[in-house]
Amino acid sequence: MIDPDDRVLLVRFEFPNTGTHWATPGGGVEPGETDHQALRRELEEELGLGGVTIGPQIWTRLHIIPFISGHHDGQRERIYLVRTAAFEPQPRLSWEALNAEYVFELRWWRADELEASLPMVPARFIEHFTALRRHGPPKQPIDVGI
- DSSP three-state, residue 90: coil
What pLDDT score does 70 carry?
A: 59
Task: Provide the whole-model pTM.
Answer: 0.90
Distance CA 1, CA 52 (A): 10
Minimum mean pLDDT range among 78-87, 110-119, 128-137: 110-119
pLDDT band at 16 (very low <50, low <70, confident <90, very high): confident
* Three-state DSSP state, 114: coil
**What is the structure's pLDDT at 119?**
94
Domain boundaries, the chain: 8-143
pLDDT the model gives residue 73: 60
What is 8-143's CATH topology?
A: Nucleoside Triphosphate Pyrophosphohydrolase (3.90.79)
46 neighbors 106 (Cβ within 8 angstroms): yes
Per-residue pLDDT reduced to its tens digit, 58-77: 999 987 665 556 555 667 89
Residue 66 is predicted with a pLDDT of 56
**Predicted confidence (pLDDT) per residue in 21-67, tens digit:** 999 999 889 999 999 999 999 999 999 999 999 999 999 998 766 55
Beta strand ranges found along 30-94 (DSSP E): 54-66, 72-82
Amino acid at 140: Q
